[in-house]
Structures are given as C-alpha cells and as structure tokens.
Amino acid sequence: MTIDHTKTVVFITGANTGIGNQTVRHLLSSDVAYHIFLAARTKDKAEDAILKLKEEYQNTKSELSSVVLDLEDDGSIERAVGEVRSLTDRIDVLINNAGVELDHLGPSLGLSQREIFLRTYSTNIAGPHILTTHLIPLLLKSANPRLLFLTSGTASFELSSNPDFILNKSPISGWPKPPQRELFAYKSSKVALNMLMRDWHRILREDEVKVWAVNPGFVLTGLGGDRGVLKSLGAGDAGGSGGFVVGVVEGKRDGDVGRIVQREWIYGDTLPF
C-alpha cells in the first residue's frame, strides 16, 4: 500500500470501539481527506472494524489502514510503529485514545488491587507515553502536527469537589464501606495523563506541535463495563464525543493549546480545570 500524502495522516489508538471508533466515523464523514491508521489490540478487531466502516462510508474521501497495538506490550508498540514507518515517513495527528477502567471489572477477572493499578497505569499512562515517544519523529515531519490525549472529567479536581455529581457521593461512616462504584485507579491515571500532556506540550513547544488533553464527556462506551449502569448514572452518547475530538483535530480549539479541552458537561455546566 502507498500512502497518499496529500491526505492528513492520523494514528488513533483503541479505535475499534467506543469514542475511538466514533472519532474515526467523524473523520470519515469530514470534508477533509484523511489516511487513518486504526489501531486495536488484535488484527481481527482492527480489520473487522475497518470492514464495517468501509461498508458504511463508501463515499468517504479518506482511507483506512489497520494496526495491531497492545499498549501494555513494548514489543507490540515497536512493531506497530515499524509498520507505520514502512508506509509513511510522516503522521500529522496522533490521538492517544485507548484506555482501560479496571476498578469495576478487575476483581471479577481475578485481579488484585495492585494488579488493577499496575495494569491501569501501564495502559493509560506508560503505553501512550512510550508510543508518543516512538512517533515524535514522524510527527515532526508534519507541517501542522497535533498530539491529543483522551482524558476524563473524573480527573478534574473541580468536579471531584462537586457534591451533586453522582460519583462523588460519600458513603456512611464506619468500615467496611457499603458497595459503591469507585474509580481509584482510573481517575488517578487520568490525573497523571493530564500532567503527561503538560510535559509533552512543554517539550514540543519550540517544535510547534499542538498538544491537548481532550475530555470527551461522560458517555456510553464499553470501558466501564455494564452499559445499563453507565446509562443510569447519566452517561450520554459517544457520537458527540467523536465529533468533538475531530473538531480539535480540525482546528476548533487551537486557541487552547496545552490545556484540557472539553465538551459541555452532561449536567449542563462547563467545568473549569
């Protein structure tokens, strides 16, 4: 395959489902022509996603390539980068979208508290950082390089002080506490991701790479397990999140480089960070 370098080249992780997949859909619907590297954990997941997208978006100006990428595996990261390098010497946009939330599902998978934290940080922090480090040389070949990290409103100190937000309910006194959905590992990993974004913004400032953390809002995805529970908590539709991410890609938040940008919050307020 030969990459058409008149197209904007995008690499997006975790793009077979959820917000990543919705982002690809909005890219395919755009008037801008893209070449999209759709990364997923397995070849089957990536290629199945591309097959469905090609059937749905037959008139798109854009093209798709599958990439196998497991952010917990350095060898997988290196192979994915090598595959991209074999097809192009440039990418214009890197979207670090993939992430895990194991606080809820981890115990049913037999994971200890330590294992939940280690795997969460490996996927949500170490993986994106290592992938970004490998792809920086290709980003620097772009005339308009952009680097996005998908964060979460649950990482907001402002939101965490809002007693009206459903995830901030304080349990009754005493120990042990009654069962309640807690996100210790996930939320703290996204706080760390926000600082990772700030460091990459600082490091790449003189290279004129535009860097953001993007909060897509509280939406229905497979990330947190039971979709019925997420919906009952007020989660919205992921389609709007994909459109918001593409808006950042296409320049709508260029005045906010180096910051956390977000959709209007699901409860009606745009919360400061």
Q: Collect the ranges in the chain with pLDDT lower than 70.
A: 1, 166, 218-239, 264-273
Catalytic site residue from 45, 187, 190, 210: 190
Catalogue all structural domains in the chain, each as residue range(s) with its CATH number.
Answer: 8-262 (3.40.50.720)
Per-residue pLDDT reduced to its tens digit, 255-266: 999 999 987 643
Is 152 one of the catalytic residues?
A: yes
Is 190 one of the catalytic residues?
A: yes
Catalytic site residue from 34, 62, 65, 186: 186
Model pTM above 0.95: no
Catalytic site residue from 62, 65, 76, 152: 152
Is 76 one of the catalytic residues?
A: no
DSSP the chain: ----TTSEEEEESSTTSHHHHHHHHHHHHSSS-EEEEEEESSHHHHHHHHHHHHHH-TT-S-EEEEEE--TT-HHHHHHHHHHHHHH-S--SEEEE------TTTGGGGT--HHHHHHHHHIIIIIHHHHHHHHHHHHHTTSSS-EEEEE--GGG-HHHHT-TTSGGGPPPPSSSSPPP----HHHHHHHHHHHHHHHHHHHHHGGGT-EEEEEE--SB--STTS-HHHHHHTT-B-HHHHHHHHHHHHTTTTGGGTTSEEEPPPTTS-----
